[in-house]
């Protein structure tokens, strides 16, 4: 599926030296059906300043809510991918994973702690999505081997820009991902949400629409908190076994940012 | 991690004014809980009440349902001690907008930390966090008893839970349960004969006939009850967990229910996750009921044990529970010769009912004696009192139910 051999960036981050194994298989008594959730976040240069600060803040707040939610923290597993700097990075909770690791980035929700993200560099959006699909497929295989069931995973792509190549120039290479990602969604391998924030352009929106025909949005400002709450609401609906119309309803409420009494 | 908490959100909406049975109240700015169907708000200045506001304008059917529900007082008149919360978060008032339009309803608030959704009992981490020092197997057995009791009494009064799951029942520190989403209950109005169906369901607790679109029935509740009681008695394990050997790539609890594939009945059909408890932790009478519910009872609603059958078997076991002499909070069924929780601790290094000894290395699984504090004696006393009281209440109700059965049969 992948055509770039080194999708993840190596950083001189001391935290990568001691890879935490504490997440693997800890909950031996919990046979709950799992719900893998991938946050695929744009951390390119354009997110510098207020946007990245507000993203970090929203992640912290969402983490607290996730811990407090007995139902979500029972079965959700969170992985964070970022695309910025010089490539794509996978995080296991707060720890940056080394690109050649076989360690899964998924962390049980009740143990999840968010990474502290910095903004810089280019926008390898397509590569990030490919990695998202890859880690979801790998996690499914792992879970099945453990005898654990899973709900349909959720991938949430968030960006304020256009896909670029490694030199930071806009590229049309993202189009190669579209057939794959369309087929995967048709086969219900996951639900993909693609959200444009900040000053995303018409072309940027076109990319998101191509990736996620069912759940794409172009939002004013940087409403990361609402966005993450929408992911939680969708996860709740998934746990309940809700029909597609419920997910569409949750998403359209998020898109319009409409309180309940203004129906 | 961050010093300031965000003031994002639907800016400017400092709460919304609505009418509860004509009385003007102010709702909280942000909902407590928000889903696809409805959002739940607190009422400013009244901590005891929450208001459920439907997302889509509710139709005349829903409005009529609420109107009729407000004339009923189900599960009333039972002898309870003051410490016991109601078993149903029944609607207490209609919620309407300033224009008089129907919005939803008010009910008593059953929120954390006093009331925790059942799912909070299903993992060790959550038990430790939400019920510190309270939970042992006897407690779980008691919660199962309370659930079966609630279900039997609802059925006795012609109410069908319909959407019965670990998410819409809350449990308090004494093990008492409350069913939350009463507006989805199926019932026939005793006064007018109108029937109100249950339109909600939760896949992981949904019997096959309901998955296929059938109506909510008592037998459907009995299926969900069986799953919940099994989960309680096996510290959270879902009886339809596990991946079938012959399955395609997407295997779910829902699929296993539809295929009548439970490891409790046919362990050879699935890959059972490491750490899943042997069903033998259930005492024989209860295991028999579980095997009936997850075997022949999956496809055949008539073969499912009723809530009363569960109640009787649970009641029998409550008086027999054994107490482990070695470790606190280790209690187990009278059929077992050795403490299953000590056995698990030795095998896995994890104590299902006690906090881990501080700073113990992961590998050091050797059970250190007295590594955990003994339970406070004071906490145990009301538990015993309550047990006695509940048993008494249970016997009275059983007699009433049996009497009814006899007089009708």
Q: Is residue B59 one of the residues assigned to a domain?
A: yes
Instruction: Indicate the helix (H) or strand (E) that contains A244.
Output: helix A244-256
Q: Is residue A160 one of the residues assigned to a domain?
A: yes
Q: Is residue A47 one of the residues assigned to a domain?
A: yes
Asked whether the predicted pLDDT for residue B139 surpasses 50, the reply is: yes
Q: What is the pLDDT of residue A12?
A: 36
B130 and B42 in a common domain: no
Among candidates A58, A242, A257 on the partner chain, residue whose Cβ is nearest the Cβ of B36: A242
Total domains in the fold of chain A:
1
B63 and B173 in a common domain: no
C-alpha distance from B172 to closest chain A C-alpha (Å): 14
B97 and B230 in a common domain: no
B397 and B255 in a common domain: yes
Chain B's closest residue to A72, CA to CA, is: B119
User: What CATH number has the domain bearing residue B308?
Assistant: 1.10.510.10
How many other C-beta atoms lie within 10 A of the C-beta of residue B38? 22
Q: Is residue A4 one of the residues assigned to a domain?
A: no
Question: For tokens 């059983």, what's the residue?
Answer: B398
Among candidates A54, A74, A146 on the partner chain, residue whose Cβ is nearest the Cβ of B273: A146
B201 and B142 in a common domain: yes
Look at residue B24 and give its three-state secondary structure: strand
Q: What is the pLDDT of residue A3?
A: 34
Chain B's closest residue to A258, CA to CA, is: B10
Q: Is residue B191 one of the residues assigned to a domain?
A: yes
Q: Is residue A144 one of the residues assigned to a domain?
A: yes
Q: What is the mean pLDDT of chain B?
A: 85
B225 and B201 in a common domain: yes
Q: What is the pLDDT of residue B34?
A: 83
Nearest-angstrom CA–CA distance, A87 and A2: 14
pLDDT in tens, B186-225: 999 999 999 999 999 999 999 999 999 999 999 999 999 9
**Is the N-terminal amide bond of B113 cis, ω within 30° of 0?**
yes
Q: What is the pLDDT of residue B409?
A: 34
Per-residue pLDDT band at B304 (split at 50, 70, 90): very high
Please tell me which residue, B392 or B63, carries the higher pLDDT value: B63
Q: What is the pLDDT of residue B44?
A: 94
DSSP string, B34-76: E-SSEEEEEETTEEEEEEEEESSPPPHHHHHHHHHHTT--TT-
User: Mapped to the 3 state alphabet, what secondary structure does B183-200 carry?
Assistant: HHCEEECCCCCCEECCCC
Chain B's closest residue to A187, CA to CA, is: B250
Asked whether the predicted pLDDT for residue B160 surpasses 60, the reply is: yes
Which residues on chain A are in Cβ contact (under 8 Å) with B124?
27, 29-30
The low-confidence residues of chain A, meaning pLDDT below 50, are: 1-25, 263
B104 and B161 in a common domain: no
pLDDT in tens, B218-240: 999 999 999 999 999 999 999 99
Q: What is the pLDDT of residue B78?
A: 56
User: What CATH number has the domain bearing residue B55?
Assistant: 3.30.200.20
Residues within 8 A of B (CB atoms), A 93-122 only? 110, 114, 116
Which residues on chain B are in Cβ contact (under 8 Å) with A241?
201-204, 206, 254
Chain B's closest residue to A28, CA to CA, is: B275
Nearest-angstrom CA–CA distance, B237 and A98: 35
pLDDT in tens, B308-326: 999 999 999 999 999 999 9
Please tell me which residue, B385 or A44, carries the higher pLDDT value: A44
Nearest-angstrom CA–CA distance, A211 and A174: 9
Q: What is the pLDDT of residue B404?
A: 53
CA distances from B289 to B25, B41, B209, B264 (A): 48, 40, 20, 11
Chain B contact for A244 (CB, 8 A cutoff): no
Q: Is residue B83 one of the residues assigned to a domain?
A: no
Q: Is residue B84 one of the residues assigned to a domain?
A: no
Chain B's closest residue to A245, CA to CA, is: B36
Looking at residues B393-405, what average pLDDT do you find?
A: 53
pLDDT in tens, B168-188: 999 999 999 999 999 999 999
Asked whether the predicted pLDDT for residue B105 surpasses 60, the reply is: yes
User: What CATH number has the domain bearing residue A199?
Assistant: 3.40.50.410
Residues within 8 A of B (CB atoms), A 168-187 only? none
Asked whether the predicted pLDDT for residue B289 surpasses 60, the reply is: yes
Among candidates B2, B16, B350 on the partner chain, residue whose Cβ is nearest the Cβ of A29: B350
Residues within 8 A of B (CB atoms), A 14-73 only? 22, 25, 27-33, 54, 56-58, 60-61, 68, 70-71, 73
Give the burial string for B153-171 (b: 16+ CB within 10 Å, else e).
Answer: bbbbeebbbbbbbbbbbbb
Which neighbouring-strand residues pair with B19?
B24, B96
Q: What is the pLDDT of residue A261?
A: 54
| Residue A23 structure tokens | 């997440």
Total domains in the fold of chain B:
2
B243 and B341 in a common domain: yes
B176 and B147 in a common domain: yes
Which structural domain range is residue B152 located in?
112-356+374-403
Question: Exposed, middle or buried, A64 (CB in 10 Å: 0-12/13-18/19+)?
Answer: exposed
Q: Is residue B262 one of the residues assigned to a domain?
A: yes
B298 and B200 in a common domain: yes
B127 and B66 in a common domain: no
Q: Is residue B151 one of the residues assigned to a domain?
A: yes
Nearest-angstrom CA–CA distance, B125 and A206: 44
pLDDT in tens, B56-90: 889 999 999 999 999 998 987 554 667 789 999 99
pLDDT in tens, B25-58: 999 988 888 877 899 999 999 999 999 999 888 9
How many other C-beta atoms lie within 10 A of the C-beta of residue B177? 25
Q: Give the DSSP letter of residue B142.
A: H
Nearest-angstrom CA–CA distance, B221 and B216: 8
Question: For tokens 């590594």, what's the residue?
Answer: B371
Which structural domain range is residue A247 located in?
32-256
Q: Give the DSSP letter of residue A221.
A: S
Q: What is the pLDDT of residue B398?
A: 54
Which residues on chain B are in Cβ contact (under 8 Å) with A229?
34
B326 and B223 in a common domain: yes
Q: What is the pLDDT of residue B214?
A: 97
Name residues whose C-beta falls within 8 Å of residue B249's C-beta, 6 or more positions apart in sequence: A140, A144
Inspect the interface and report whether the beta carbons of B277 and A73 lie closer than 8 Å: no
Q: Is residue B31 one of the residues assigned to a domain?
A: yes
Nearest-angstrom CA–CA distance, A94 and B175: 37
Among candidates A33, A71, A263 on the partner chain, residue whose Cβ is nearest the Cβ of B167: A71
Which residues on chain A are in Cβ contact (under 8 Å) with B272?
31, 147
Q: Is residue B10 one of the residues assigned to a domain?
A: no
Instruction: Indicate the helix (H) or strand (E) that contains B26.
Output: strand B23-26
Among candidates B123, B166, B201 on the partner chain, residue whose Cβ is nearest the Cβ of A30: B123
């Amino acid at each position: 599926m992948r055509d770039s051999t080194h999708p993840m960036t190596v950083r001189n981050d001391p935290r990568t030296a001691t890879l935490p194994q504490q997440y693997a298989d800890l909950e031996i008594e919990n046979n709950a059906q799992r719900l893998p959730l991938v946050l695929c976040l744009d951390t390119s240069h354009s997110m510098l300043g207020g946007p990245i600060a507000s993203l970090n803040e929203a992640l912290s707040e969402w983490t607290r809510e996730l811990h407090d939610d007995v139902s979500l923290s029972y079965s959700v597993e969170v992985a964070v991918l970022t695309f910025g700097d010089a490539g794509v990075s996978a995080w296991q909770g707060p720890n940056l994973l080394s690109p050649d690791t076989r360690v899964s980035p998924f962390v049980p929700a009740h143990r999840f702690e968010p990474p502290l993200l910095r903004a810089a560099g280019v926008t390898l959006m397509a590569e990030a999505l490919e990695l998202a699909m890859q880690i979801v497929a790998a996690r499914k295989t792992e879970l099945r081997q453990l005898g654990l069931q899973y709900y349909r995973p959720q991938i949430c792509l968030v960006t304020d820009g256009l896909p670029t190549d490694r030199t930071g120039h806009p590229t049309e290479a993202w189009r190669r991902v579209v057939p794959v990602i369309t087929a995967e969604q048709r086969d219900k391998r996951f639900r993909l949400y693609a959200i444009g924030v900040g000053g995303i352009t018409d072309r940027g929106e076109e990319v998101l629409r191509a990736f996620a025909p069912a759940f794409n949005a172009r939002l004013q400002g940087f409403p990361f908190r609402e966005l993450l709450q929408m992911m939680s609401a969708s996860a709740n609906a998934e746990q309940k076994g809700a029909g597609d119309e419920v997910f569409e309803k949750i998403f359209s409420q998020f898109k319009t940012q409409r309180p309940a009494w203004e129906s | 991690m961050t010093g300031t908490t965000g003031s994002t959100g639907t800016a400017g909406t400092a709460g919304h004014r609505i009418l509860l049975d004509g009385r003007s109240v102010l709702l909280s700015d942000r909902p407590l809980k928000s889903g696809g169907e409805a959002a739940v708000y607190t009422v400013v200045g009244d901590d005891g009440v929450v208001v459920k506001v439907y997302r889509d304008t509710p139709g005349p059917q829903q409005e009529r349902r609420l109107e009729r529900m407000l004339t009923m007082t189900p599960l009333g008149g039972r002898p309870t001690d003051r410490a016991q919360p109601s078993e149903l978060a029944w609607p207490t008032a209609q919620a309407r907008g300033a224009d008089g339009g129907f919005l939803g309803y008010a009910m008593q608030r059953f929120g954390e930390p006093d009331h925790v959704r059942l799912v909070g009992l299903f993992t060790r981490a959550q038990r430790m966090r939400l019920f510190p020092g309270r939970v042992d197997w006897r407690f779980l057995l008691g919660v199962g008893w309370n659930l079966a009791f609630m279900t039997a009494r609802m059925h006795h009064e012609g109410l069908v839970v319909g959407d019965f799951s670990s998410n819409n029942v809350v449990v308090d520190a004494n093990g008492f349960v409350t069913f939350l989403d009463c507006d989805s209950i199926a019932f026939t109005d005793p006064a007018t004969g109108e029937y109100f169906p249950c339109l909600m369901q939760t896949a992981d607790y949904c019997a096959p006939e309901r998955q296929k679109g059938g109506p909510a029935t008592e037998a459907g509740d009995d299926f969900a009850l069986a799953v919940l009681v099994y989960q309680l008695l096996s510290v959270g394990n879902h009886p339809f967990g596990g991946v079938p050997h012959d399955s395609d790539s997407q295997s779910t609890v829902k699929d296993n229910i539809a295929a009548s594939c439970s490891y409790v009945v046919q362990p050879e059909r699935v890959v059972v996750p490491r750490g899943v408890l042997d069903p033998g932790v259930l005492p024989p009478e209860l295991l028999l009921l579980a095997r009936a519910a997850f075997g022949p009872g999956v496809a055949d609603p008539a073969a499912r044990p009723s809530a009363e059958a569960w109640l009787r078997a649970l009641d029998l076991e409550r008086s027999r529970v054994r107490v482990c002499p070695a470790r606190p909070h280790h209690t187990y069924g009278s059929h077992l010769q050795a403490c299953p929780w000590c056995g698990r601790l030795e095998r896995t290094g994890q104590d299902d009912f006690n906090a881990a000894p501080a700073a113990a290395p992961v590998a050091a699984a050797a059970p250190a004696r007295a590594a955990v504090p003994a339970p406070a004696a004071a906490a145990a006393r009301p538990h015993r009192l309550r047990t006695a009281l509940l048993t008494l209440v249970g016997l009275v109700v059983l007699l009433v139910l049996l009497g009814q059965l006899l007089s009708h049969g």
